[in-house]
């Protein structure tokens, strides 16, 4: 009886691991193959079967991609747009999230719903009127207006993530700080903010990645000042295969690196908050 229980437990654990491995492979294998192609010689891309290691290792493909016309400028645009988006949406979204988490005010639930419902409007439908308005206001084809657009897209997420982050910091802690000599603002800065920081960092990185990867609004709203995804998308079908692999790798690299960084930070401090 006992041994059959242990056996079942091993089997079910094994199945869970198997499933996890399959899911990981599903995501990681294509990424890996893209990476291999990006760091092989250009001609290696056409080899079949696909080599599993870049042999010989070469930065030729990446250099080719980065030196292609417009890539450097569009990377710069992408970074600028992403940074502005990140700053704006954190500046606007974090206080809104804090308000939802901490204060009971008239219409709080409605506000929360409203925030989510903005995501119900497909960007496809909004894009044409937006483009027209931007042209009328003389804001068309600018990284700043695209950043505004991305901020609008990111805000609902920022607000909801930060509100749940702040909600996870017990109110008691702020109150304790207030009885120990803090004003409401000092209590926030000295207690809530440090505890919310990992969550806020996650929200900002999420925003960064969202903006970095966003392609539709970027294509619609810019012509000469293309962001990287917009540029890659418009030239994709006329580009050689190595260009596509290198471009793909270059675009997903930041997300990967950020996730890696944030992961440790997240686990460390979230454990403390929830304990």
List of residues contacting other proteins (CB under 8 A): 170, 172-173, 175-184, 186, 191, 194-195, 269, 271-273, 275
Minimum CB distance to other proteins, residue 195 (Å):
6
Comparison of 146 and 169: residue with beta carbon closer to other proteins: 169
- Residue 166 or residue 243: which is nearer to other proteins going by CB? 166
Q: How far is the CB of 191 from other proteins (least distance, A)?
A: 6
Closest to other proteins by CB, 152 vs 173, is 173
Question: Is the CB of 44 or the CB of 191 nearer to other proteins?
Answer: 191
> Alpha carbon 269 to chain centroid distance?
20
- Backbone torsion region of residue 179, taken as left when φ is above 0, otherwise alpha when ψ lies between -120 and 50, otherwise beta: alpha
Report how far residue 152's alpha carbon sits from residue 119's, in angstroms, rounded to the nearest whole number.
10
Provide, rounded to whole angstroms, the least separation between the CB of residue 97 and other proteins: 19
Q: How far is the CB of 197 from other proteins (least distance, A)?
A: 9
Closer Cβ to other proteins, 186 or 234, answer by number? 186
Closest separation in Å from C-beta 107 to other proteins: 17
Residue 186 CB, shortest distance to other proteins, in Å, is 8
Closest to other proteins by CB, 106 vs 275, is 275
């Amino acid at each position: 009886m006992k041994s059959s229980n242990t056996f079942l437990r091993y089997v079910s654990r094994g199945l869970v691991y198997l499933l996890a491995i399959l899911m990981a492979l599903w995501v990681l294998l294509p990424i890996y193959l893209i990476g291999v192609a990006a760091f092989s010689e250009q001609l290696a891309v056409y080899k079949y079967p696909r080599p599993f290691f870049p042999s010989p290792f070469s930065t030729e493909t990446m250099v080719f991609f980065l030196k292609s016309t417009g890539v450097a400028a569009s990377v710069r645009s992408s970074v600028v747009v992403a940074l502005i988006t990140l700053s704006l949406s954190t500046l606007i979204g974090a206080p809104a999230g804090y308000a939802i988490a901490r204060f009971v005010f008239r219409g709080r639930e409605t506000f929360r719903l409203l925030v989510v419902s903005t995501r119900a409007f497909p960007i496809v439908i909004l894009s044409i009127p937006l483009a027209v308005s931007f042209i009328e206001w003389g804001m068309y084809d600018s990284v700043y207006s695209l950043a505004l657009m991305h901020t609008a897209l990111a805000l609902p997420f920022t607000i909801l993530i930060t509100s749940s982050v702040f909600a996870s910091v017990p109110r008691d802690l702020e109150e304790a700080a207030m009885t120990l000599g803090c004003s409401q603002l000092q209590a926030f800065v000295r207690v809530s903010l440090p505890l919310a920081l990992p969550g806020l960092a996650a929200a900002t990185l999420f925003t960064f990645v969202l903006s970095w990867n966003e392609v539709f609004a970027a294509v619609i709203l810019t012509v000469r000042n293309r962001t990287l995804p917009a540029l890659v998308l418009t030239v994709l079908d006329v580009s050689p295969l190595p260009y596509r692999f290198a471009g793909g790798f270059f675009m997903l690299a930041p997300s990967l690196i950020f996730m890696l960084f944030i992961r440790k930070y997240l686990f460390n401090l979230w454990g403390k908050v929830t304990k």
